[in-house]
Amino acid sequence: MNKIIIGLDLGTKTGWAVLDMDGNRLASGHWNFQPKRFEGGGMRYIRFRAAIESLLKEWPCSSLAFEAIHRHRGVAAAHVYGGLLATLQATLEGRDPKIPYTGIGVGTIKKFATGKGNAKKNAMIATAVERWGTGGWKTKSDDEADALWVAATFINQIS
């Protein structure tokens, strides 16, 4: 398996990032799992699983890290996060070989990215563009920026 790390920022708008072990950005983006008209409540998780499977097929990884959120502002957000996390865990546990995964706390990610554990979204985006913006890459998505920093924080922790 390749020495590639995938980082995820789980939510209705899920950010994803693929880094090599040197922290170089190989690919990143975000998916929108907002329910579509006439979709049942479980379709968000079916689409998420398909997106994860597609990502893993394109980028076989050695580990996966996600932003571990322990408190949400609203009940709906907590339910969506829990459903996405359960879907992710079931997907990864069901693979052969299994892919090791871990959650990293929000404050830890923000502190690594900006030096402040309570950094705002615009700071996370700015530091992501500063670090990975060579070659013209930039993002306006805080979800994509967070996913990049999730993967980078994981690499920093195991180095």
- What digits encode the pLDDT tens for the residues 11-20? 999 999 999 9
pLDDT of amino acid 80: 94
Residue 2 pLDDT exceeds 80: no
**If you count them, how many residues does the chain have?**
159
- Those residues whose C-beta lies under 8 Å from the C-beta of residue 157, and which sit 6 or more positions away, are 104
Confidence grade of residue 136 (pLDDT, cut at 50, 70, 90): confident
pLDDT of amino acid 51: 98
Instruction: Report the C-alpha gap between 127 and 53 in whole angstroms.
Output: 29
| Measured CA distances, 104 to 17, 47, 57, 134, 152 (Å) | 15, 24, 24, 26, 11
Domain range annotation of the chain: 4-158
| Measured CA distances, 98 to 3, 30, 54, 85, 152 (Å) | 15, 24, 16, 16, 21
What angle do the packed helices 75-93 and 43-58 form, to 10 degrees? 40
Token readout for 86 is 């359960």
Instruction: Report the C-alpha gap between 8 and 151 in whole angstroms.
Output: 8
With a pLDDT cut of 70, the percent of the chain lying above it is: 99
- CATH architecture, range 4-158: 2-Layer Sandwich (3.30)
Instruction: Report, as an integer, the average pLDDT of 125-152.
Output: 95
Residue 21 pLDDT exceeds 90: yes
Residue 131 pLDDT exceeds 70: yes
- Those residues whose C-beta lies under 8 Å from the C-beta of residue 93, and which sit 6 or more positions away, are none
pLDDT of amino acid 150: 98
> What does the angle CA 54 – CA 59 – CA 64 come to, to the nearest 5 degrees?
95
- What digits encode the pLDDT tens for the residues 44-101? 999 999 999 999 999 999 999 999 998 878 888 899 999 999 999 999 999 988 899 9
Q: At 84, phi and psi to the nearest 5? A: -65, -40
What mean pLDDT, rounded, does the chain reach? Answer: 94
Burial (CB count within 10 angstroms: exposed 0-12, middle 13-18, buried 19+), residue 148: buried
> Which of 22-31, 66-75, 103-112 is predicted least confidently?
66-75
With a pLDDT cut of 90, the percent of the chain lying above it is: 84
